[in-house]
Amino acid sequence: MMSLRKFKLISYCLVFVGIASTSLFADVKTPAVFGSGMVLQREMDVPVWGWADAGEKVTVSFRDQKISTTANADGKWKVALKPLKVGKAGTLTVAGKNKIEFTNVLVGEVWVCSGQSNMGWTVAGSIDGKLEAAAADEPGIRLFQVPLKTADKPQEDVQAQWRVCAPDNVSNFSAVGYFYGRQLHHVLRVPVGIIMTAWGGTRAEAWTSPEAMAKTKELKPILDTWDERASKYDAAKAKAQYDAAMKTWTERVKKARAAGTRVPRRPQLAGQPRLDRHHPSTLYNAMVAPLVPYAIRGAIWYQGESNAGRAYQYRTLMPTMIQSWRDVWGQGDFHFYQVQLANFQAITTEPGESSWAELREAQTMAGDAIPNVGAACITDLGAAKDIHPKDKQNVAKRLSRLALVDIYGMDSLVKQGPTYKSMEIKGDKILIHFENYGSPLISYYKEPLTGFAVAGEDKKWQWAEAEIVDADTVEVSNAKIKDPKAARYNWASNPQGTLYSTAYLPAYPFRTDNWEGTTARNVTP
């Protein structure tokens, strides 16, 4: 028979557990994207959301605003602060049965930076990384870094926190993201928040919402390919292969260490395909959805290398991905700026086809497909033997030019380098007209113009002689081609063209033809 003392002890424990669990469930909470040190987007409604008990009253307070709502049957709640102006740091309070206080909150500009490894590339790995970090005492810049995760369904939260930019924490942050934020901060003189969500080697379809992927028929081959892989996945077989590979790897490591040579890379277990970081929507689910609908000004994007083999498909994929973000964010057509692929791989001696050139073309075409989309040209900032060029500072400057002109009204700046506008065939010559954005055409430091090619009806490309004839026109020709039909510029993986504007911004690659390219029929990953 149970003693009275033991009965009371058990009763007290049950009561305590009940109180503790009720308290845990009742606590009003917000996702991690809200936190001390954050930046709230100025001059637009600012959604604030989270969880509480069903029916619980929740009040959000910031500056002179106080807004209340009630959690719905699922325990979710959401309010929107009215447009805010830049001012002193303040405290945002969320109160229900408990109270949360987020301190040192600024109002300014908020940008998402996303993509693959070149966006994830750190300040430490860039040119003058240690010097840049040493100078990064920037309390007006705030950093939020989303951890690398995959998910098969959209998630509601991430494990991350806002940090005030400082020399001891900026080194492992996105270099392009930080340098872009710094440029805006210094020019606009307002606080800037940068949300980094990027993962090396990933494809654009992994960052696209499942709804958008499912309803876009041109992208169905991607989904079908992954469905087939999932149907053939054998967990036991994958584990057996991994164990065998680990056994071999262990022996190789012992030999490498004994010989003082490089240790081989550790094998990876072939996991469930639906959670692979390349699988459609897995990164959107885990690394984008939890941020929505945090108020932002726009997004910058550095990706494309992993989709270069399907560049024609990217013409549809990229606008689809951008629109899928806009649809869930509910902020309309916010600005989205891409970084075109840098020059990379061996320099070709003869003009021809290039999947990387086709991908750059697809990046440009995204801006024609949907509004408020641009691209920064960096075909002069790459390296033949390094897919990760280290000059991220100038990449960020070129992105910032687009935003500063388009969004912030700084018309005195040259927005970008020259872009193709139209062509005229005159006898054995082609006149190419450019949009020069108020900065006349020049050759790079008066070097001869290079990078142009022409072709006749036979579609055989030959290098062209090129000459600038006025502020926005170049004349091209080849003595062997009497009846030219088309022209191209910098149409190569590692182009070496020398056409710039007087702002020393490079002309964008282009072609005047629509002849089928090398990736036109590639639709499966």
**Each residue's pLDDT tens digit, 489-509:** 999 999 999 999 999 999 999
Quick check: helix, strand or coil at residue 348? coil
Q: Is the peptide bond before 139 cis (omega within 30 degrees of 0)?
A: no
Which helix (H) or strand (E) segment holds residue 252: the answer is: helix 235-259
pLDDT surpasses 60 at 20: no
User: Does residue 242 share a domain with residue 204?
Assistant: no
Of 441 and 14, which is predicted with more confidence? 441
Nearest to 288 by CA among 359, 231, 206, 221: 206
The Cα–Cα gap between 84 and 43 comes to 5
Position 367 scores a pLDDT of: 94
**Cβ pair 382, 334 in contact under 8 A:** no
The average pLDDT across 267-287 equals: 93
The answer on 298 and 187 residing in a single domain is yes
Q: Which of 59-68, 88-97, 233-242, 343-352 has the lowest mean pLDDT?
A: 233-242
Asked whether the predicted pLDDT for residue 16 surpasses 60, the reply is no
Number of domains in the chain: 3
Residues 173 and 310 both lie in one domain: yes
Are 368 and 242 contained in the same domain?
no
Same domain for 258 and 335, yes or no, is no
Mean pLDDT of 377-395: 97
Note whether 446 and 347 are same-domain residues: no
In this structure, are 344 and 368 located in the same domain?
A: yes
Strands 298-302 and 465-470, sheet pairing: unpaired
Closest to 303 (Cα-Cα) out of 241, 367, 362: 362
Measured distance CA(210)–CA(152) in Å, rounded = 9
Higher-confidence residue of 246 and 342: namely 342
Residue 267 binned pLDDT confidence (cut-offs 50, 70, 90) = confident
Check the CA dihedral 324-329-334-336 and report its sign. negative
Model confidence band, residue 18 (pLDDT cutoffs 50, 70, 90):
very low
- Other CB atoms within 10 A of residue 479 CB: 9
Of 15-19, 148-152, 215-219, 510-514, which gets the smallest average pLDDT?
15-19
- Does 220 map to a domain? yes
The 10 Å CB-count burial string (b at 16+, else e) for 208-231 is bbbebbeebeebeebbebbeeeee
Contact 381, 396 (CB under 8 A): no
Residue, of 5 and 523, whose pLDDT is higher: 523
Tell which wins on pLDDT, 8 or 457: 457
Which residue, 416, 448, 471, sits at the end of a domain? 416
Q: What is the mean pLDDT of residues 294-303?
A: 98
Q: Is the pLDDT of residue 199 over 60?
A: yes
pLDDT higher than 90, residue 398: yes
pLDDT at 264: 87
Domain membership flag for residue 49: no
89 contacts 106 by C-beta, under 8 angstroms:
yes
b/e 131-144 (16+ beta carbons within 10 angstroms → b)? ebbeebebebbbbb
Sheet with 461-463: strands ordered across: 461-463, 452-455, 486-489, 510-511
Least Cα distance to 395 among 199, 136, 153, 127 occurs for 127
Average pLDDT, the chain: 94
Specify if 404 maps to a domain. Answer: yes
Q: Are 349 and 386 in contact (CB under 8 A)?
A: no
Residue 469 lies in a domain: yes
Q: How confident is the model over 112-126, as pLDDT tens digits?
A: 999 999 999 999 999
Q: Is 443 exposed, middle or buried (0-12, 13-18, 19+ CB in 10 A)?
A: middle
**Within-domain flag for 99:** no
Domain assignment present for 485: yes
CATH code of 411's domain: 3.40.50.1110
Return the percentage of the chain with pLDDT > 90, whole number: 89
Has residue 272 got a pLDDT over 50?
Answer: yes
Query: In terms of residues, how long is the chain?
Result: 525
Position with higher pLDDT, 260 vs 324? 324
Is the residue at 27 inside a domain? no
**pLDDT tens sequence across 421-447:** 999 999 999 999 999 999 999 999 999
Domain containing 196: what range?
A: 110-226+272-416
Residues 187, 149 share a domain: yes
Torsional sign, CA 96, 99, 100, 104: positive
Query: Confidence band (pLDDT; 50, 70, 90) for 362?
Result: very high
The number of angstroms, rounded, from the C-alpha of 498 to the middle of its chain's C-alpha atoms is 28
Q: Is the pLDDT of residue 271 over 90?
A: no
Where does residue 438 fall: left (phi above 0), alpha (psi -120 to 50 degrees), or beta otherwise? left
Query: How far is it, in rounded angstroms, from Cα 516 to Cα 521?
Result: 9
Domain boundary among 388, 416, 444: 416
Q: Which residues contact 295 (CB under 8 A, 6 or more apart)?
A: 40, 41, 44, 45, 46, 47, 110, 331
Q: Is residue 26 in a domain? A: no
Question: Where do we find the tokens 């307070």?
Answer: 61
- Give the pLDDT of residue 7: 38
Strand, helix or coil for residue 51: strand
The pLDDT of residue 26: 65
Pair (280, 382) in one structural domain: yes
- pLDDT tens track for 163-192: 999 999 999 999 999 999 999 999 999 999
Structure tokens at 22: 């009720």
Domain check: are 322 and 303 in the same one? yes
Task: Return the percentage of the chain with pLDDT > 70, whole number.
Answer: 95
**Do 346 and 376 sit in the same domain of this protein?**
yes
One domain, residues 260 and 369: no
Mean pLDDT, range 66-74, rounded to an integer: 98
